[in-house]
Amino acid sequence: MKKKFEKKELINKSKDLSDWYTDVILKAELADYAPIRGCMVFRPYGFAIWENMQRILDSMIKEMGVSNAYFPLLIPYSLLKKEKEHIKGFSPELAVVTHGGGKKISEPLVIRPTSETIIYAMYSKWIKSFRDLPLRINQWCNIVRWEKRCYLFLRTMEFLWQEGHTCHRTHREAKEEVERVMRMYEDFYKDFLAIPGFLGRKSVSEKFAGACDTSAYEILTPNGKVLQACSAHDLGQNFSKPFKISFQDRDGKTKYVWQTCWGLSTRSIGGLIMVHGDDQGLVLPPKIAPVQVIIIPIFGKGKDFNQKILSFSNQIKKEIEKKGVRVKFDGRTQYSPGWKFNEWEIKGVPLRIEIGKDEISGKFLTLVRRDILNERLKIKNEKLKVKVQELLDKIQDNLYKKAKKFLREHTHEVSNYQKFKKIMRQTKGFISAFWCEDPKCEAKIKEETKATIRCLPKKAIEEKGKCLYCLKRANRKWIFAQAY
Amino acid sequence: MKKKFEKKELINKSKDLSDWYTDVILKAELADYAPIRGCMVFRPYGFAIWENMQRILDSMIKEMGVSNAYFPLLIPYSLLKKEKEHIKGFSPELAVVTHGGGKKISEPLVIRPTSETIIYAMYSKWIKSFRDLPLRINQWCNIVRWEKRCYLFLRTMEFLWQEGHTCHRTHREAKEEVERVMRMYEDFYKDFLAIPGFLGRKSVSEKFAGACDTSAYEILTPNGKVLQACSAHDLGQNFSKPFKISFQDRDGKTKYVWQTCWGLSTRSIGGLIMVHGDDQGLVLPPKIAPVQVIIIPIFGKGKDFNQKILSFSNQIKKEIEKKGVRVKFDGRTQYSPGWKFNEWEIKGVPLRIEIGKDEISGKFLTLVRRDILNERLKIKNEKLKVKVQELLDKIQDNLYKKAKKFLREHTHEVSNYQKFKKIMRQTKGFISAFWCEDPKCEAKIKEETKATIRCLPKKAIEEKGKCLYCLKRANRKWIFAQAY
């Protein structure tokens, strides 16, 4: 009977990243295609990753003193077009409601492609005095941007995110908010998703529609292309003026507020899958893994024997659970242990505990780390609780180090455009190079190499150099890469 | 300077419930009207109530073994109309997207008015064998049902909810699920929202569009009208047949699954406000209050003195916080203590601690319970931590008892239709009466008294009686009331 269940075969990650990516998402049951063009379904295992990310990031956001709220999904078109750059940027991506309650409605409503306009219409009502500032609100919600094709997690018509929107008395305070938020995002990516990256400021052509300045965290995928992992925007007074968000300051004068907005979406799950996964499937960092430890029984012959395995497994499970570890026992009898190993490897569970004849009679347990599959660890029973947490920490750490090493190996300092072009044709990755900050050079480089300017790293210093492209004077090294 | 800030005056609850309701929501800053007809904004304080409710209910749902997932917002019209009763019920309330990405789209998409159809399209793909059952998934999301007028929380175009959708091998299992879920909802309402009610089965004319059977929890508001607080539906095979959700059973035969669905929405916040609030404002049950304890300093003259008040208040705050209590310190200097008392009473914070001259010099603290405002409690400093938790528990308990008493006083056993009509004209409330189960009598009663059948209580027994309206034989007493 067990033969009926064939092992799930997976496409090799190294052979074709894109095919592997879709394959592993479907086989690990993270997500599925919806019967609507461009849309996906978050299946329970995939959604549990988002829930873990939400729980962590939400507490970081609250720790900063920002409160959650919820604003309407539907935005009147007249409101959306109040800020000119903003509507220009989002126009091609809008989903428009024209009928409601069986009738054509007088003014079309747009499904939020982002919520600046609807939120700021409320802010203008709520803010009156300097005492109402800073106003710092976040919302977790769904967003719709028209897409014809669906690239699971990375590009979908509907996605989930958090969007923070803050108002400040001064431009300095708003800029500090952007920096504080980006530090939070960087910590979140490094400490929880185990993903290193470049944090920095965008070039003018790459900034958010309506912003003065955009900061972003850029991460590297195994094929050398990069993803913008999240971003924060200094909106200046670009929105506060058309939306009339003004306050009476201490000096009695009426002034416009200075604003920021910032977001991180379910796209980050796509990055997570790509960065850590391997030929065997997902590899999830313990801190966000829905299941951190999987216990697999090796049943044998005889009811008594199997009963022993069961009760021993349960005991182990309870012990680990008490430590706050997310542990699951796979007692299904229709599958062989080998089939289950494979299944939970595809699902990327960080740690596996095997419980069979040797384990119930001896004093040792057998553990296998998802990040080092060929190593079987023997752990003394009484040390299990401590060891499990220790191993989870080690795995988390190891994943970050591996990703950091890959990033380092794929980041080049380049001053020669020929070399730049060669790298962008071959291994790709990040390139740090002088740029004169003329959009024309930026456009030419993009046209000739597909590489765009990802950011000016936070740590960039003033230097003297020559623009990679035009050889004119340049003062800072920017980060280039091909975007996903 | 302090005179500038006038005390917020509130409409009397007893004089006009409806005006008081809107007034208290706006003044407590729970919510606001959005610039879109029928829509509201959840302000941070109101959304924090929903977050607390979500956190509690979500853990109850997971405790039952149900997993969270997320399905698309937009549903193709062709999918929505697959189940005939369902589309008939929801047609008048749909918001329809006809344009996307700047073009007219070939098939209109509907914003989910509920998610049966999109979820069941996926279930038919995922379920193959009896081994895939039961499948039990929940989602937290936004819902749009076309509304022209906005009655904050209670009736809005967009609202938030959780919707559970389960598939089972047998009808019996599905029915058991409905019972399990309704028990969970009842516990949630009683233990956390402190709201008693009637749990029971709906009449045929009041059931959900597409269900075999609907169960609901009905709660009473101060003007004697009732709200359906949440509901669970036995869908039978009404959806599994048109959506082809079938499985190979143990006997090798292909069968359709038996389904349930169930939901609780932000409407419940409306019930919460109405049931517990008083002339002074909101009264929040401690278990879901965003702020459980507010500390208000009574500043005096002299910098040193005020510094002492500050540091003493901080110390008290930390002590209480350590116990896991949600506590806030209102140190704003532009408002008088009296203004702050009023403010936090409107916001319904269960417990207030006043810290002034007597408190920093003596060994007693002054506490005031929101549910008994005219009583000032003196608590010994060293007993504070224990006492705060004790008082919060007492308040929670007291709110439930008060609501229960009101419910009891407004529930009548009636066998005479004249008396029934009189009650429905005057005090209203719940009426328990025999009904022959003929929809014609139900319709006549509704027409003549505005009362509908709310439910057949879970605890109802078979009895011999005469229908309230037609005097023909009736076997069970049903619960009648005027719905909101």
One domain, residues B311 and B434: no
The pLDDT of residue B2 is: 44
**Residue A146 and residue A190 in contact, taking contact as beta carbons nearer than 8 Å:** no
Q: What is the mean pLDDT of chain B?
A: 95
> Which of A73, A104, A145, A162 is most worth mutating to test chain B (most B CB atoms within 10 A of its CB)?
A73
SS3 content of chain B, % helix, strand, coil (to 5): 35, 30, 30
The residue among B358, B391, B424 that closes a domain is: B391
CA atoms within 13 A on the CB side of B75: 26
Residue identified by tokens 């623009």 is A467
d(CA B29, CA B49) in angstroms, rounded, equals 12
CATH of the domain at A421: 3.30.110.30
CA atoms within 13 A on the CB side of A426: 8
Shortest Cα–Cα distance, A31 to chain B (Å): 9
The DSSP bridge partners found for residue B346 are: none
Residue identified by tokens 């977050």 is B51
DSSP structure class, residue B191: I
Contact A100 B99 (CB under 8 A): no
Q: What is the mean pLDDT of chain A?
A: 95
Residue identified by tokens 């269900």 is B211
Query: Looking at the domain assignment, is residue B7 inside a domain?
Result: no
Contact A41 B71 (CB under 8 A): yes
The pLDDT of residue A5 is: 65
Q: Specify burial of residue B56 (Cβ count, 10 A radius: 0-12, 13-18, 19+).
A: middle
Contacting B residues, span 431-470, partner chain A, CB-CB under 8 Å: none
How open is the CA angle B344-B346-B349, to the nearest 5 degrees? 45
d(CA A206, CA A453) in angstroms, rounded, equals 8
Q: pLDDT per residue over B223-256, tens digit each? A: 999 999 999 999 999 999 999 999 999 999 999 9
Query: Looking at the domain assignment, is residue B55 inside a domain?
Result: yes
**Residue B154 and residue B205 in contact, taking contact as beta carbons nearer than 8 Å:** no
Please give the C-alpha separations between residue A252 and each of A129, A135, A249, in angstroms, as whole numbers: 9, 19, 5
Contacts A–B by Cβ distance under 8 A:
162
Q: For a pLDDT cut of 90, what percent of chain A falls above it? A: 90
One domain, residues B373 and B470: no
One domain, residues B438 and B315: no
Q: Closest CB to A69: pick one of B44, B69, B158.
A: B44
d(CA B150, CA B155) in angstroms, rounded, equals 6
> Which of A30, A41, A52, A104 is most worth mutating to test chain B (most B CB atoms within 10 A of its CB)?
A41
The pLDDT of residue A363 is: 82
Domain total of chain B: 3
The stretch A233-242 carries a mean pLDDT of 97
User: Looking at this protein, which amino acid is placed at residue B106?
Assistant: S
Question: Cβ neighbours of residue A105 under 8 Å, at least 6 residues apart?
Answer: A97, A98, A99
> What number of residues does chain A have?
484
Q: Is A98 on the interface with B (CB under 8 A)?
A: yes
Confidence band, pLDDT 50/70/90 cuts, at residue B50: very high
d(CA A477, CA A414) in angstroms, rounded, equals 10
Query: Looking at the domain assignment, is residue B288 inside a domain?
Result: no
Q: Is A44 on the interface with B (CB under 8 A)?
A: yes
The residue among B336, B363, B391 that closes a domain is: B391
The interaxial angle of helices A384-409 and A303-322, nearest 10 deg, is 70
**Residue B468 and residue B433 in contact, taking contact as beta carbons nearer than 8 Å:** yes
- What beta strand segments (E) does B9-157 contain? 31-33, 40-42, 67-68, 74-76, 95-100, 103-111, 135-144
CATH of the domain at A203: 3.30.930.10
- Dihedral angle at the C-alpha atoms of B319, B387, B403, B60, nearest 10 degrees? 50
Query: Looking at the domain assignment, is residue A398 inside a domain?
Result: no
Pick the residue from chain B with its C-alpha nearest to A148.
Answer: B101
Q: Is A141 on the interface with B (CB under 8 A)?
A: yes
Contacting A residues, span 17-36, partner chain B, CB-CB under 8 Å: 32, 34-36
Shortest Cα–Cα distance, A183 to chain B (Å): 24
Q: In angstroms, how far is the first alpha carbon of chain B from the final one?
A: 45
Backbone angles phi, psi at B231, to 5 degrees: -155, 160
Residue A477 lies in domain: 411-482
Q: Closest CB to A39: pick one of B51, B74, B98.
A: B74
Residues of A in contact with B79 (CB under 8 A): 35
Q: What is the ipTM of this complex?
A: 0.96
**Would you state the structure tokens that stand for residue B327, as one six-digit string?**
């506590």
d(CA B44, CA B33) in angstroms, rounded, equals 14
Contact A109 B47 (CB under 8 A): no
d(CA B484, CA B480) in angstroms, rounded, equals 13
One domain, residues A135 and A209: yes
The interaxial angle of helices A384-409 and A267-276, nearest 10 deg, is 90
Q: pLDDT per residue over A190-216, tens digit each? A: 999 999 999 999 999 998 888 999 999
Residues of B in contact with A122 (CB under 8 A): 32, 34-35, 41
One domain, residues B66 and B158: yes
One domain, residues A374 and A301: yes
The pLDDT of residue B4 is: 56
Q: What is the DSSP string of A187-229?
A: HIIIIIS----EEEEPPGGGS-TT-SEEEEEEEE-TTS-EEEE
**Would you state the structure tokens that stand for residue A335, as one six-digit string?**
């599958």
Q: Is A483 on the interface with B (CB under 8 A)?
A: no
The pLDDT of residue A8 is: 83
Q: What is the largest CA-CA distance in chain A?
A: 86
**Would you state the structure tokens that stand for residue B311, as one six-digit string?**
């540091």
Q: pLDDT per residue over B155-207, tens digit each? A: 999 999 999 999 999 999 999 999 999 999 999 999 999 999 999 999 999 99
Query: Looking at the domain assignment, is residue B77 inside a domain?
Result: yes
Q: pLDDT per residue over A321-353, tens digit each? A: 999 999 999 999 999 999 999 999 999 999 999
Q: Specify burial of residue B232 (Cβ count, 10 A radius: 0-12, 13-18, 19+).
A: buried
Shortest Cα–Cα distance, B93 to chain A (Å): 5
One domain, residues A184 and A317: no
Q: Is A289 on the interface with B (CB under 8 A)?
A: no
One domain, residues A246 and A315: no
d(CA A197, CA A265) in angstroms, rounded, equals 17
Residues of B in contact with A47 (CB under 8 A): 67-70
Contact A101 B148 (CB under 8 A): yes
How open is the CA angle B143-B452-B57, to the nearest 5 degrees? 40
d(CA A50, CA A69) in angstroms, rounded, equals 19
CATH of the domain at A357: 3.40.50.800
One domain, residues B266 and B308: no
Shortest Cα–Cα distance, A66 to chain B (Å): 10
One domain, residues A247 and A341: no
Q: Is A129 on the interface with B (CB under 8 A)?
A: no
Pick the residue from chain A with its C-alpha nearest to B58.
Answer: A51
The stretch A292-296 carries a mean pLDDT of 98
Q: pLDDT per residue over B353-389, tens digit each? A: 999 998 988 789 999 999 999 889 999 988 998 999 9
Query: Looking at the domain assignment, is residue B2 inside a domain?
Result: no
One domain, residues A136 and A271: yes
Contacting A residues, span 336-395, partner chain B, CB-CB under 8 Å: none
**Residue B39 and residue B156 in contact, taking contact as beta carbons nearer than 8 Å:** yes
Q: pLDDT per residue over A87-109, tens digit each? A: 888 999 999 999 999 999 999 99
Query: Looking at the domain assignment, is residue A167 inside a domain?
Result: yes
**Would you state the structure tokens that stand for residue B92, as one six-digit string?**
């008048």
The pLDDT of residue A484 is: 87
Contact A67 B44 (CB under 8 A): yes
Whether residue B208 is predicted with pLDDT greater than 90 in this model: the reply is: no
**Would you state the structure tokens that stand for residue B228, as one six-digit string?**
């359906």
Confidence band, pLDDT 50/70/90 cuts, at residue B1: very low
Query: Looking at the domain assignment, is residue A5 inside a domain?
Result: no
d(CA B137, CA A444) in angstroms, rounded, equals 50
Q: Is A335 on the interface with B (CB under 8 A)?
A: no
Question: Cβ neighbours of residue B150 under 8 Å, at least 6 residues apart?
Answer: B33, B34, B37, B38, B39, B40, B156, B157
Q: Which residue has the higher pLDDT, B186 or B2?
A: B186
Q: Closest CB to A73: pick one of B70, B118, B144.
A: B144
Residue identified by tokens 């062709």 is B78
The residue among A276, A301, A319 that closes a domain is: A276
Residues of A in contact with B91 (CB under 8 A): 102
One domain, residues B176 and B256: yes
Q: pLDDT per residue over B61-96, tens digit each? A: 999 999 999 999 999 999 999 988 888 889 999 999
Residues of B in contact with A44 (CB under 8 A): 67-69, 137
